[in-house]
Amino acid sequence: MDIFLLLIGFFFVCLGIIGAFLPILPGPLTGWIGLLLLHLTTAVPKDWTFLGITLGVAIIVWILDYFIPAMGTKRFGGSKYGVYGTTIGLIIGLLSPIPFGILIGAFVGAFVGELLHDSKDTNRALKASMGSFLGFLASMSLKFGVGLVYFWFYISTFWEYQSSFF
């Protein structure tokens, strides 16, 4: 059972890193589930303080993920159409074969969203889409950083107790 929890936990920690780029998947919370599964094995002693702190960080980052892109958009004079466009462009960019499609899709999506909101002012739309894009990048970087830290916690904890697994 420990090996099963170990493998599933590793899968969730890796999904946590991938979740930094996918708006559908809550990356930090998914990575935290991987840490929890590792600590539920009999080989690793339960550290509820560690799990509580990392859960708190995951929840805070998850909540901030909803506000950071909107704050970037509002700061640069954008609308909710820019935020929606960023998300749609991100998904389209993710599915496209273009290198850096995620980044290009997020920016173009924000720009198109802002043009749909106010088609007369392309300068404002460009500025607002830049704010939405910067907010998206900040949010993605934060989630990616937390995902990498959780991955490192997972690997280092496993390495410390590896003799107990095999």
Mean pLDDT of 115-138: 82
Cβ atoms of 70 and 83 within 8 Å: the answer is yes
- How much of the chain, in percent, has pLDDT values that exceed 70? 100
CA distance 110 to 82: 4
Mean pLDDT of 48-58: 96
CA distance 56 to 29: 10
- pLDDT for residue 152 is more than 80: yes
Residue that wins the pLDDT comparison between 37 and 1: 37
Structure tokens at 71: 């704050």
Task: Please state the domain extents for the chain.
Answer: 2-165
